[in-house]
Amino acid sequence: MKVVLEKVHGSMNTFYMVEGPERSDYAELALQLCVLDEEVDGLLVILPSANCHAKMRVFNRDGSEASMCGNGLRCVARYVCEKEGIRSAVIETMKADLSVSREETLMEGIETYSVEISPVSFRLEDLPMEYENRSEMILQPIPEISEEILFSAVAVPNPHLIGIVSEEIQKDSSHQKYWAEKFNGKNPFFSDGVNVSYVTKLEQGIFVRTFERGVGFTNACGTAMTASALISCIAGMEPFGEVAVYNPGGMVKCTVIKDADIYQLLLTGNATRISLHEYQWENAAKDSGFLSSVKLDEQRHYEKFTENISDVVEQFA
């Protein structure tokens, strides 16, 4: 069977994207594509929805399904809005129906979209996480890891463990890699694994590096960047409102609004189309493969954008 794929990215969190009917074997397609292309983090699937403009499913490199992907949602938002000729839409995801909108561009030539990140929960059972019979963990050390790093656990709805770290720890990712791999293997704390992000305060904004469950270190993770902005605001590192979040793949803007005990989160950034492909998709990987590929011109605009912020990003490379 021939399918049409778009290769897309949000903050260099890169995916193949396909529109099609609901079916049970998209995980297999994700596995095939990720073997053929080491640049991609997974597969975005756009499906019909009974109540929304469309439905999004997300499959990681290892074939596991994620409940949400903020960077991927921006790319899906662009596809749906351009197809329907609209500026805003509602996309069904595994845990919530989320609002998306086209926004003023980050820079000329960069299509920019904002997406709602919801729901937000600090209950450890929602990650799930087991630790000393606690119900929450917000800005607390985990002595087994470090007495100095303050950790927070939050589901948005993907599970995240976020540590606030010094520049020294941020520049050497070995500490983060060790614990992230431990928490995504057999361990007593996270039965389903967890996304692990280390956050460092900048002169303006924050820098976030994420080890993503089912992927490994990634250029960017949308829900991780938004959750990190939330924790940074709670910690007093950043004022509530718009936070500039830098990552190895670029920069996004995360808006954190607090209303009593309710948090509203918005992620705004690029939705870039890299290339178009025809793919022969068969059950056996040996019978599958790319039939044609057409490179698009949008990536050069994004590369110009990242050149403008390279001094911030490269200090943690």
276 DSSP β-pair partners: 6, 294
Show pLDDT as tens, one digit a residue, over the chain (317 residues): 999 999 999 999 999 999 999 999 999 999 999 999 999 999 999 999 999 999 999 999 999 999 999 999 999 999 999 999 999 999 999 999 999 999 999 999 999 999 999 999 999 999 999 999 999 999 999 999 999 999 999 999 999 999 999 999 999 999 999 999 999 999 999 999 999 999 999 999 999 999 999 999 999 999 999 999 999 999 999 999 999 999 999 999 999 999 988 999 999 999 999 999 999 999 999 999 999 999 999 999 999 999 999 988 888 87
Do 278 and 263 fall within a single domain? no
- For residues 79 and 17, the answer to whether their CB atoms sit within 8 Å is yes
Do 40 and 100 fall within a single domain? yes
On whether residue 219 sits in a domain, the answer given is yes
On whether residue 282 sits in a domain, the answer given is yes
Do 251 and 193 fall within a single domain? yes
On whether residue 29 sits in a domain, the answer given is yes
Tell me whether residue 69 is one of the annotated catalytic residues: yes
- pLDDT value, residue 316: 86
- For residues 288 and 281, the answer to whether their CB atoms sit within 8 Å is yes
CATH number, domain with residue 249: 3.10.310.10
Do 197 and 144 fall within a single domain? yes
Q: Which one is catalytic: 34, 69, 75, 233? A: 69
Do 213 and 175 fall within a single domain? yes
On whether residue 296 sits in a domain, the answer given is yes
Q: Distance between CA 61 and CA 30 in Å, rounded?
A: 7
Domain span at 216: 124-268
Tokens of 173: 């990712």
Q: What is the tally of structural domains in the chain?
A: 2
Tell me the longest C-alpha to C-alpha distance in the chain. 56
- pLDDT value, residue 315: 87
On whether residue 144 sits in a domain, the answer given is yes
On whether residue 119 sits in a domain, the answer given is no
Q: Distance between CA 86 and CA 247 in Å, rounded?
A: 30
Do 256 and 136 fall within a single domain? yes
Q: Distance between CA 80 and CA 69 in Å, rounded?
A: 16
2 DSSP β-pair partners: 280
Q: What is the pLDDT of residues 18-46, one digit of tens each?
A: 999 999 999 999 999 999 999 999 999 99
pTM: 0.96
Which residues are CB-contacts of 253 (< 8 A; sequence separation ≥ 6)?
Answer: 242, 243, 244, 245, 267, 268, 269
Do 51 and 87 fall within a single domain? yes
Do 252 and 138 fall within a single domain? yes
On whether residue 202 sits in a domain, the answer given is yes
On whether residue 118 sits in a domain, the answer given is no
Q: Cβ atoms within 10 A of the Cβ of 267, count?
A: 27
Do 60 and 31 fall within a single domain? yes
- pLDDT value, residue 313: 86
Do 227 and 310 fall within a single domain? no
Half-sphere exposure of residue 293: CA atoms within 13 angstroms, side-chain side: 9
Q: Distance between CA 161 and CA 129 in Å, rounded?
A: 10
Which residues are CB-contacts of 150 (< 8 A; sequence separation ≥ 6)?
Answer: 139, 140, 141, 163, 164, 235
Do 190 and 251 fall within a single domain? yes
Q: Which one is catalytic: 75, 221, 233, 254? A: 221
Do 264 and 132 fall within a single domain? yes
